[in-house]
Amino acid sequence: MAERQKLFYVALTVIVVGGLGPLLYQALTSRTDPVTAPPREQASCLLCHSEYEAKADYVVHQPVQSESCTMCHIDHTQENEFGFTQPTVTELCLTCHSDDSANMQSVHAPYDEGDCLSCHDAHQSPFQGMLVQEERSLCLDCHDSVDIEDNPVLHKPFEESCSDCHDAHATDFEVLLTAQTDELCLSCHTEQENELNKTWQHEPFISGDCLSCHEAHSSPIADSALLVKQERSLCLECHSGDVGLGNPVTHAPVNQSCVSCHESHAADISGLLVANSPDLCYTCHNSTRAELNQAVKHKPFSDGNCASCHETHTSSVRGSALLTQDTTSLCYSCHGDVRAQQNLSVQHKPFEDGSCASCHTAHAAPARNLLFTANRTAFCQSCHTETVAEFNQTSSHPVGAGAFNCSSCHTQAHAGQNVNLLRATGNDLCSTCHGGTVTEFNQSVHRNVGGQDSCYHCHTTHGSPYTSLLQRSEVATCTACHDGKTGSYMASGTLFNNHPIGTARELGTDVFCSSCHTSIHGPSYEYLLKQPLNNQLCMGCHTRESLTAY
């Protein structure tokens, strides 16, 4: 009996192994769904595939970490390579990883083609995301066009991690960006986000078109904010018509840096200016700021309205300080009353030439009418240098730094009807100061001498080497009309001797016409004598004893 049982078990074993064994093996090896193998089976895989054993400090695929090779592999009898449980790598990966690319605007080519292993290792990697190499190097293997080694300025994410801005698989934004361009930029550049609240905004900035001015990865422009080209050239691509290129005079910042005056994104001041005028202008023009301390200021200057006279970028007026129009036209645009004087017959040479700046300063001055000095005499003599010597002669009009100066007689600075721009002509001019003398003169025997301009018959205007502004010496002046009143003369056959006239060196005392005829201009006594014609007049010089000797 015992021997019969023994034969039964042997026969059963043969039947199972020989008949059912192949069937069982076929059933097991034909499975397509993941099966978690027992640890003993995983250990057997690693006997041959030891390179796939999980490594410390690596990012390990979860099936490898859990020693579940059969989540992806069955055995070596499958038709696909590596004995995958699915026909393709894509289908295999998608058994665990969902596909989010449907209807996406931008899909990474390897992802779209199901080539997961071009970027990812299937088992483990020292790099985040199980990448086959360091992220940036991996991206640049294909996208080498963005890696321009000579560019001096690199975007920080481009230096560190492409995935800061780009999704690796698919997004709803162009070029695999993780967000709309402006939103993506502002996620890091928060200071620019605050600028969205400012009053005036640059069009590319408000429209979110950051890439119209900035490169995304690197820039060839050193020390720039990733600009696509040199700052000035970039600005002029849009604003060349605003600055008047080709004009003969250019503001220095226009040739150097637009951001010296303008904000690039937004500002609270019109024109995207970095500060209000005139403070913006004064950042460079310090000498002009100092003119605010002058006593008299041009109204546009005191109002801080620089642009009322000056262009900001370029000027068509040659040789000017960026003026909006030529000097004369610019001045006349406000000073119409002065323009009207162009019709007058006598014109000051600078006025006739339209050279306002010959006499007036543009911003401020120490004297009224924006003259460069309050000393009106010195002011006039800066051009009329010949008068300096005239006023330094023996006798001269007492002009100077005070109230009596050149403009006391020459009151018309621009133009007038009278010769030499005088306030009046002939004796009328003299009478403005010497009114009493002219009145006396008009009542004297001299009143018809010289006609309307009788003062000029004897006197000069500025200075003279003779007393009382006489054109000639006193004796020569008198004898020009009163011939024969000096020396000796014959009359009716009789020799007459005139009173001797001469200097103290010749006569012991000065004796001239005015020694006796002191009231030359006006009436007093006969013959314009200073006393009645009697001995008293003579005894002013001669003693009684000397008179009795005759």
Confidence of residue 24 (pLDDT cuts 50, 70, 90): very low
Contact of 277 with 247, CB cutoff 8 Å: no
C-alpha to C-alpha distance for 73 and 71, rounded to whole angstroms: 6
What's the rounded mean pLDDT across residues 151-160? 95
Judge whether residue 235 has pLDDT over 70: yes
Confidence of residue 277 (pLDDT cuts 50, 70, 90): very high
Contact of 195 with 201, CB cutoff 8 Å: yes
Q: What are phi and psi of 463, to 5 degrees?
A: -160, 165
Lowest model confidence (mean pLDDT) among 71-85, 178-192, 198-212: 71-85
- Note the pLDDT of residue 265: 97
Judge whether residue 19 has pLDDT over 60: no
- Note the pLDDT of residue 41: 55
Mean model confidence pLDDT for the chain: 87
C-alpha to C-alpha distance for 415 and 7, rounded to whole angstroms: 149
Write the single-letter amino acid at 412. Q
Burial class (CB in 10 A: 0-12, 13-18, 19+), 488: exposed
Cα–Cα nearest to 78, from 42, 32, 23: 32
What's the rounded mean pLDDT across residues 126-134? 96
Lowest model confidence (mean pLDDT) among 11-20, 165-174, 395-404: 11-20
C-alpha to C-alpha distance for 112 and 124, rounded to whole angstroms: 23
- Note the pLDDT of residue 550: 56
- Note the pLDDT of residue 547: 64
pLDDT in tens, 92-107: 999 999 998 888 999 9
Share above pLDDT 90 across residues of the chain, in percent, rounded to a whole number: 63
- The larger pLDDT score, comparing residue 165 to residue 520, is at 165
- Note the pLDDT of residue 226: 97
Per-residue b or e along 427-457, where b marks 16 or more CB atoms closer than 10 Å to that residue's CB: bebbbeeeeebbebbeebebeeebeeebbbe
- Note the pLDDT of residue 83: 85
Judge whether residue 401 has pLDDT over 60: yes
What's the rounded mean pLDDT across residues 239-246? 91
What's the rounded mean pLDDT across residues 516-541? 81
- Note the pLDDT of residue 549: 58
What's the rounded mean pLDDT across residues 25-40? 41
Confidence of residue 43 (pLDDT cuts 50, 70, 90): low
Cα–Cα nearest to 200, from 264, 140, 105, 147: 264
- Note the pLDDT of residue 25: 35
pLDDT in tens, 442-473: 888 888 887 777 898 999 999 999 999 999 99
Confidence of residue 13 (pLDDT cuts 50, 70, 90): very low
Cα–Cα nearest to 391, from 374, 373, 409, 369: 409
Encoding tokens for residue 53? 């054993």
- Note the pLDDT of residue 548: 67
- Point out which residues pair with 497 in neighbouring strands: 488
Lowest model confidence (mean pLDDT) among 237-251, 297-311, 377-391, 476-490: 476-490
